[in-house]
Amino acid sequence: PPTPAATADPADDGSVEPTGITPNTEDGNPGDPDPGDATPGEWPGLRNRLRAAAGADRGGTPASAEATRYVPTPIPAGPSPSLDRETALTVLAGPLSCIDRPQPIPANRTGYLDVVTYTRRPGFEQDLAFYGCWDWHSAVNSMWTMVRAAKEMPDIPVAALIREKVGFHITARSMQGELEYLAANPTFERPYGWVWLLLLHAELASWNDPQAEAWAEHMEPAADLVAERLEEYLEGLRRAVRSGTHRSTAFTLSMALRATTMYPRRGLETVLRDTAVRFFADDDDCDVEDEPGRSDFLSPCLEEAAVMAEVMDRDEFVPWLDSFLPHMDSADFAPLRTSALTDSTANMDLEQMIETIGRLAEGSSDASTLARLRQITTVSLSDTTYAARARRSHLIGLAFGRADAILRIAAALPVTDPRVEKLRNLAAYHGRTGLETMFDADYAGSHWISSFALKYLVEVAKESEP
């Protein structure tokens, strides 16, 4: 998910956040602040232990105060979404409409699709595969969305069109161009784009289809390179990136693990599992109250719990989860029960959001914040509108990100666990919210949200599997 007004990064990995977020480029990823470099006091659980030591509970209330009984707001009732034909066609509208639409030439992109003079590389449609959908990683995950939908529903009316698109983009020549660019730019799209590439390749390689077999063969050298680099990246990572955006370590691990279940890479799988245990096994009391962040499309707490559900045995996972997430009916869990789209900024229309950004610029006393906010007000109205839509798109994507992670957590619990039904109902609520709003951010959302919608719907389908 992009924004047009982000700061350029010489080691561009394609992950761009809404304007106003302090750049951090250690891993070649501009935009979101790096919780991996946070002070220990910002790590999950520690803040709450400090509160406890000061005589306060997790909500910051003095322990001596008389407790007020919290009554949770009921989760809105409704059916669980499913991947039927109508929903699939709705989801596919995004990737089918953007996969051939060349990425724009904003200030944060040089090298991949454009030369230094900001002119198109000649022959890019033959020499590159992932040049559509605003940015590289969105082109990759849009391709995955089309492939996975065709696998799930081979008789869908647009199946032939999907094959035509995939066959045009993934050729021996285009993937050679991708391989050469990735080889020459070792931090490009690290790690977010990497794991989507691995998942796309694994999806094709595991598809019992002659065309898919050829496409997977074209992709294999690039996927092998990325897998090798991902191992090196994770082994050298000093601390987990505990964010709700592109560099989330938990999301990276979950996505890559999913790919290895379809296309085995034993060495990578070992590193993924070891990394999850190294960073997350001793965590407790995740700071749910801090969610969502201003640009989150993932839930840091839920993503971490979901990846531990994959790497831990059930006997280990259940007590770990008990100490990691608050009780579902508690006030501490409330931020995850409520749609992020109900916050005040999300409810603004675009004109109100633009006006608010302008007022922030005039009222800010922080020089760096003022400079960034003034930058917004000096760009064209269309750019400012796009920035507002980009932020809204992240919150829409967060609905699917939460729903997907919640279902993975529920699947790891014993069927008799009373949380299972509540978690599934909560996932259905977030899933419905996402589907109802997925086109509300226009192209700022339609070029990527479908991937998260389908990723969630695939998890829903697993519930009915024997």
* 219-249 per-position pLDDT tens digit: 999 999 999 999 999 999 999 999 999 999 9
- Is the domain of 385 the same as that of 296? yes
Asked whether residue 111 is domain-assigned, the answer is yes
Residues facing 62 on adjacent strands:
56
Complete DSSP assignment for 343-390? SHHHHS-HHHHHHHHHHHHHH---HHHHHHHHHHHHS-HHHHHHHHHH
Per the structure, how many domains does the chain have? 2
What's the DSSP call for residue 236? H
Both tokens of residue 2? 């992009």
Asked whether residue 462 is domain-assigned, the answer is no
- Is the domain of 96 the same as that of 166? yes
- Is the domain of 345 the same as that of 413? yes
- Is the domain of 248 the same as that of 316? no
Q: How many CB atoms lie within 10 A of CB 55?
A: 11
Q: Could you tell me the residue range of the domain that residue 440 belongs to?
A: 282-450
Task: Please state the pTM of the whole predicted model.
Answer: 0.80
- Indicate the residue among 260, 280, 300 that finishes a domain: 280
- Indicate the residue among 280, 300, 323 that finishes a domain: 280
Calpha distance 136→129 (Å, rounded): 9
- Indicate the residue among 225, 252, 280 that finishes a domain: 280
Calpha distance 18→179 (Å, rounded): 29
Asked whether residue 3 is domain-assigned, the answer is no
In Å, how far are 89, 101, 143, 336, 450 from 97, measured between CA atoms? 12, 7, 11, 32, 11
Asked whether residue 354 is domain-assigned, the answer is yes
- Is the domain of 126 the same as that of 202? yes
pLDDT on residue 203: 99
- Is the domain of 275 the same as that of 306? no
Calpha distance 429→396 (Å, rounded): 13
Asked whether residue 225 is domain-assigned, the answer is yes
pLDDT on residue 19: 33
- Is the domain of 321 the same as that of 384? yes
- Is the domain of 327 the same as that of 310? yes
pLDDT on residue 116: 56
Low-confidence ranges of the chain (pLDDT < 50): 2-47, 49-67, 107, 343-348, 356-366, 368-381
- Is the domain of 243 the same as that of 295? no
Q: Are the beta carbons of 268 and 227 closer than 8 angstroms?
A: yes
Which residue's entry shows tokens 């951010």?
Answer: 441
